[in-house]
């Protein structure tokens, strides 16, 4: 006895070709698993219960001309209770959102199902336009409208444009989901994760009015290579006026390689959060750059921050490590590069403070912190009314100014001398910032050794931030910004190299304020194929070097994400 083959069932309730049915629900009722329901252009007023494995698509593939609106506004428009369902090409909506009847305010609702494909739909709704409940291994792609996952795992959200006046994307008790290449906008919160673990957010663009991305009681998530907040000079619902990226009661998350243009009150904020890794992020402008409140055991490294108030701000926080960060000034702002309030047992090493106002580092009521091998570039560098350690014992190793020993910090206003040539100060000890370090001070201040001058630390922004070796393209573009006191127009084009071996092209190139931060950048391009031949996949740190007309050397790094190479 043969097996029945899948059938194509047509639906049309307006002009055009004759069809099998005039309502989508009637077609569903008549179908069997595996059938395809093809819906012609028109306006369909009904609520559809999909309880079979079906492929339901608009005939035109254009959501604008195939509209499904509810007959009962207190019910879902598409209620999917079967596996292996496809819904594609519809405009779903035309109803009023009511926050008091959640989750019945949903256009497409997946309930306890898996392996469904929801794509190319335009779904109305302020929150929960597309909603998954107890559903796993589904794919949502190329849809517009807010998205909610509740107790739903292992789903893929790709290339959607979630929008909402409250929250565009919600994950509640949902784990192991992948959100990539989505364009998220909201008047309040872009993406909110609550009690959700092991999710990956990569390559998304997120702009919102209050919080761009918030994690609450969420652990082991990866937030990488996203563009968060408005670009400097941009307009929209942002710029995430509360916190751009917020972690609250969250641990063991990785936040890396994100580009924050215009942050709000805080670019990256951790509250009561522990064991997180925050590295290789760029903050274009924000009141506070990276903030920790009542947080411990976090690793913050290799971030570049431009901030108006404090670049790095710790309050009631302990046992955190801040390494190899750069704190730049934002329009001659009054804040400090590093500020610690009532914080203890933190380690700061390898950081560069380029700001000119207030203090390079400010410690108030803070105890037992270790601060060494940092570069503090200001007269009146430090304030400390507690009891902290400003150097380690003399140890062999290259320090931050190129000397042969680790010890204390480099202080631009240290007036002592290195009498034995070991690169450590021997007179006017301890350095105490003209008495502003109340207890002790730096007994081994670093002195720049004679010989080669350390490279000027440039800020480099490399595009694309996500490199697909399979895609077409001729160039890799780098935007080079030099610190205050240097001019990108003095860079010798012929000396610019990527990864030490790929020369910059002489054309196209040019100077301009490309990131609109009031500081000139030099735009240069490199041969894309040469770079791909040199690098691996995943997170790849790229270094750009060059010389100025006076012989000074500059260098800067940026990290991009390289997708898997396929032969």
| Separation of alpha carbons 176 and 484, rounded Å | 44
| Separation of alpha carbons 464 and 542, rounded Å | 12
- 178 versus 14: which is more confidently predicted? 178
**Arithmetic mean of pLDDT, 124-134:** 84
Q: Is the peptide bond before 464 cis (omega within 30 degrees of 0)?
A: yes
Question: Is the pLDDT at 234 greater than 50, yes or no?
Answer: no
pLDDT at 98: 43
Q: What is the pLDDT of residues 398-423, one digit of tens each?
A: 999 999 999 999 999 999 999 998 99
Reported as a pLDDT band with limits 50, 70 and 90, residue 97 is very low
| Separation of alpha carbons 465 and 262, rounded Å | 18
Output the pTM of the full model: 0.78
Percent of the chain with pLDDT over 70: 92
Domain 458-562 CATH class label: mainly beta
Tell me whether residue 555 is exposed, middle or buried, using C-beta atoms within 10 angstroms of its C-beta: 0 to 12, 13 to 18, 19 or more.
middle
Range in 22-26, 91-95, 108-112 with the lowest mean pLDDT: 91-95
| Separation of alpha carbons 428 and 414, rounded Å | 8
Q: What is the pLDDT of residues 21-44, one digit of tens each?
A: 999 999 999 999 999 999 999 999
pLDDT at 285: 84
Contacts of 523 (CB under 8 A, 6+ apart): 477, 478, 479, 480, 508, 509, 510, 511, 512, 514
**Arithmetic mean of pLDDT, 197-208:** 95
pLDDT at 94: 54
3-state secondary structure (DSSP) of residue 554? strand
Q: What tokens were used for 206?
A: 């997120």
Range in 65-79, 262-276, 333-347, 447-461 with the lowest mean pLDDT: 447-461
pLDDT at 102: 43
What is the rounded average pLDDT for all residues in the chain? 90
| Separation of alpha carbons 556 and 480, rounded Å | 8
CATH 2.160.20.10 region(s) of the chain?
A: 1-106+116-126
**Arithmetic mean of pLDDT, 174-193:** 93
Q: Look up the CATH number of domain 1-106+116-126.
A: 2.160.20.10
Q: What tokens were used for 389?
A: 């350690």
Are 358 and 334 in contact by the 8 Å Cβ rule? The answer is yes
Q: What is the pLDDT of residues 243-266, one digit of tens each?
A: 889 999 999 999 999 999 866 789
Q: What tokens were used for 39?
A: 């819906």
Residue 567 has a CB neighbour count (10 Å cut-off) of 3
- 255 versus 566: which is more confidently predicted? 255
**Arithmetic mean of pLDDT, 222-250:** 76
Measured at the CA of 33, the angle between CA 27 and CA 34, to 5 degrees, comes to 95
Are 18 and 38 in contact by the 8 Å Cβ rule? The answer is no
Measured at the CA of 140, the angle between CA 136 and CA 143, to 5 degrees, comes to 155
| Separation of alpha carbons 95 and 101, rounded Å | 13
Q: What tokens were used for 98?
A: 């009511």
Range in 124-138, 223-237, 377-391, 546-560 with the lowest mean pLDDT: 223-237
Reported as a pLDDT band with limits 50, 70 and 90, residue 50 is very high
| Separation of alpha carbons 392 and 445, rounded Å | 10
pLDDT at 96: 43
**Arithmetic mean of pLDDT, 520-530:** 93
Q: Is 390 left (phi over 0), alpha (psi -120 to 50) or beta?
A: alpha
Q: What is the pLDDT of residues 496-508, one digit of tens each?
A: 999 999 999 988 8
pLDDT at 242: 75
Describe the chain by its helix, strand, coil percentages, rounded to 5.
Answer: 5, 45, 50
Reported as a pLDDT band with limits 50, 70 and 90, residue 101 is very low
CATH 2.60.40 region(s) of the chain?
A: 458-562
pLDDT at 3: 47
Are 520 and 511 in contact by the 8 Å Cβ rule? The answer is yes
Reported as a pLDDT band with limits 50, 70 and 90, residue 315 is very high
Q: How far is CA 516 from CA 262, 286, 520, 521, in A?
A: 11, 14, 8, 9
Per-position DSSP letters for 159-213, written without gaps between them = S-B-EESSEEEEEES--S-EEES-EEEESSEEEEEES--S-EEES-EEEESSEEE
Tell me whether residue 74 is exposed, middle or buried, using C-beta atoms within 10 angstroms of its C-beta: 0 to 12, 13 to 18, 19 or more.
exposed
**H/E run at residue 529:** helix 528-534
**Arithmetic mean of pLDDT, 516-538:** 90
Question: Is the pLDDT at 365 greater than 90, yes or no?
Answer: yes
Contacts of 531 (CB under 8 A, 6+ apart): 476, 498, 499, 502, 542
From the list 488, 495, 499, 422, the residue with the least C-alpha distance to 462 is 499
Question: Is the pLDDT at 443 greater than 90, yes or no?
Answer: yes
pLDDT at 99: 40
Q: What tokens were used for 34?
A: 């595996």
pLDDT at 367: 98
**Arithmetic mean of pLDDT, 43-58:** 97
Q: How far is CA 325 from CA 252, 322, 520, in A?
A: 20, 7, 22
pLDDT at 406: 98
**Arithmetic mean of pLDDT, 180-187:** 91
pLDDT at 515: 83
């Amino acid at each position: 006895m043969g097996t029945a083959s899948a059938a194509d069932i047509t639906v049309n309730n307006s002009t055009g070709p004759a069809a099998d049915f005039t309502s989508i629900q009637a077609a569903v009722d008549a179908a069997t698993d595996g059938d395809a329901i093809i819906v012609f252009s028109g306006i369909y007023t009904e609520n559809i219960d999909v309880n079979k494995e079906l492929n339901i698509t608009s005939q035109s593939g254009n959501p604008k001309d195939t509209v499904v609106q509810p007959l009962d506004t207190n019910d879902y428009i598409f209620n999917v209770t079967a596996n292996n369902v496809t819904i594609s090409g519809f405009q779903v909506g035309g109803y009023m959102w009511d926050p008091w009847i959640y989750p019945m305010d949903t256009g497409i609702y997946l309930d306890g199902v898996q392996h469904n494909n929801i794509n190319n739909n335009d779904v109305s709704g302020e929150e929960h336009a597309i909603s998954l409940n107890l559903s796993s291994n589904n794919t949502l792609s190329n849809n517009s409208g807010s998205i909610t996952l509740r107790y739903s795992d292992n789903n893929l959200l790709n290339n959607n444009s979630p929008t909402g006046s409250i929250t565009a994307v919600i994950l509640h008790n949902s784990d192991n989901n992948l959100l990539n290449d989505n364009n998220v906008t909201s008047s309040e919160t872009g993406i909110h994760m609550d009690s959700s673990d092991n999710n990956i957010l990569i390559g998304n663009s997120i702009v919102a009015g209050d919080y761009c991305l918030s994690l609450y009681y969420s652990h082991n998530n990866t937030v990488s290579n996203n563009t968060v907040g408005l670009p400097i000079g941009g307009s929209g619902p942002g710029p995430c006026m509360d916190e751009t990226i917020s972690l609250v009661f969250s641990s063991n998350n990785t936040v890396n390689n994100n580009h924050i243009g215009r942050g709000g009150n805080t670019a990256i904020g951790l509250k009561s959060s522990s064991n997180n890794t925050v590295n290789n992020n760029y903050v274009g402008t924000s009141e506070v750059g990276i903030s920790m409140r009542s947080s411990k055991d976090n690793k913050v490294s290799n971030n570049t921050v431009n901030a108006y108030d404090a670049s790095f701000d710790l309050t009631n926080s302990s046992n955190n490590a801040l390494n190899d960060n750069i704190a730049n000034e934002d329009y001659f702002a009054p804040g400090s590069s590093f500020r610690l309030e009532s914080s203890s047992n933190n380690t700061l090493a390898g950081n560069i403070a380029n700001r000119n106002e207030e203090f390079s580092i400010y410690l108030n009521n803070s105890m037992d912190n270790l601060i060494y091998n940092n570069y503090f570039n200001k007269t009146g560098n430090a304030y400390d009314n507690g009891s902290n350690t400003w150097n380690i014992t003399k140890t062999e190793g290259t320090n931050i100014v190129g000397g042969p020993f680790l010890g204390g910090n480099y202080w631009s206003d240290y007036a002592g001398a290195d009498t034995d040539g070991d690169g450590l100060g021997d007179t006017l000890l301890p350095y105490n910032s003209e008495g502003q370090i109340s207890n002790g001070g730096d007994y081994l201040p670093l002195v720049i050794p004679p010989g080669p001058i350390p490279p000027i630390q440039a800020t480099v922004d490399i595009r694309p931030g996500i490199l697909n070796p399979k895609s077409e393209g001729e160039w890799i573009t780098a935007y080079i910004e030099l610190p205050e006191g240097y001019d990108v127009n003095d860079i010798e084009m012929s000396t610019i190299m990527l990864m030490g071996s790929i020369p910059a092209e002489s054309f196209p190139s040019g100077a301009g304020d490309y990131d609109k931060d009031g500081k000139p950048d030099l735009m240069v391009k490199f041969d894309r194929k040469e770079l791909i031949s040199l690098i691996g996949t995943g997170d790849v740190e790229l270094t750009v070097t060059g010389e100025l007309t006076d012989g000074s050397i500059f260098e800067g790094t940026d990290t991009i994400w390289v997708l898997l190479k396929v032969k």
